[in-house]
Amino acid sequence: MKTKFLVAILTVLVVVSVVSATMLIPANDNDNAKENTEALENSPVIGENWALEPNGLIRVDLIHYAKPDNSGKPAKTETCYKLFGIKWKTLPVSYVINPTNPQGLPAKFVTSAISASAETWDAATSSELFNDAYTIDYNVWWGVYDYKNAISFGNYSQENVIAVTSYWRNPRTKAIVEFDIMFDTDWVWGNADINPGVMDLQNIATHELGHGVGLADVYSTTCSAVTMYGYSWYGDIDGRTLEQPDITGLQKLYG
């Protein structure tokens, strides 16, 4: 039986530097820091730092680390979905894909996997959540606030990071105004239906897009089948399809 690697999520709000998976970020000196943090109650590692960017928006980085088996913690509740308390106020959401990757994955495969992930969420709500048409742009990258919801590959600066989703929100309206997703090229990506020894792009993209529209991770082992379960591993494709808790959380946000 192959060894599984699990993906632990670290929520860090407007980081100046990213800490390792065993460190906590100290709370901001602002008296309202803990009130405004979006750290997850059951996350193995919780960051409690936040700050405003120059444009008045708050940036949130959701960083997924690879961890060995046995790192999960049971949740206090078993609803199997969790919300950030924010959402898009203007729909549908457009997104831009940069399919450039060092593994030679064809652009058609990359875009098909990501668009299938977006449509998976779209089909579960009465709202038109994502635009059916996407844009390919070889000049967009993760982590740049440029009015584009960019999805790309990249080599993250720390080891053991599988994917990062960043979003920018308006603290006054609680509206998401942009998200970026990056798949770390330290991992072997592909289609786990064909090769179970790869990180399944559609599986992880579906999970990350859930963050992009306002859903958080859940960590209870009884929730391991849901798309927003906070861990994943090579060969995992369970997150490609939504379970009822994923749908319930989405519909609480968008109907």
CATH number at residue 212: 3.40.390.10
**Percentage of the chain with pLDDT > 90?**
63
Token pair for 22: 């065993």
Q: pLDDT digit string (tens) for 139-161?
A: 999 999 999 999 999 998 888 78
Q: Tell me the C-alpha distance between 24 and 47, whole Å.
A: 5
Q: What integer pLDDT is reported at residue 32 of this predicted model? A: 30
Token pair for 230: 């906070």
Q: pLDDT digit string (tens) for 191-244?
A: 999 999 999 999 999 999 999 999 998 878 899 899 998 888 899 999 999 999
CB 224, CB 246: distance < 8 Å: no
| pTM for the predicted model, two decimal places | 0.80
Residue 141: other Cβ atoms inside 10 A: 18
Q: What integer pLDDT is reported at residue 76 of this predicted model? A: 52
Domain with 58 in it = 5-254
67: confidence class by pLDDT, cuts 50, 70, 90: low
CB 101, CB 188: distance < 8 Å: no
Token pair for 212: 């992009």
Q: What integer pLDDT is reported at residue 49 of this predicted model? A: 34
Give the number of domains in the chain: 1
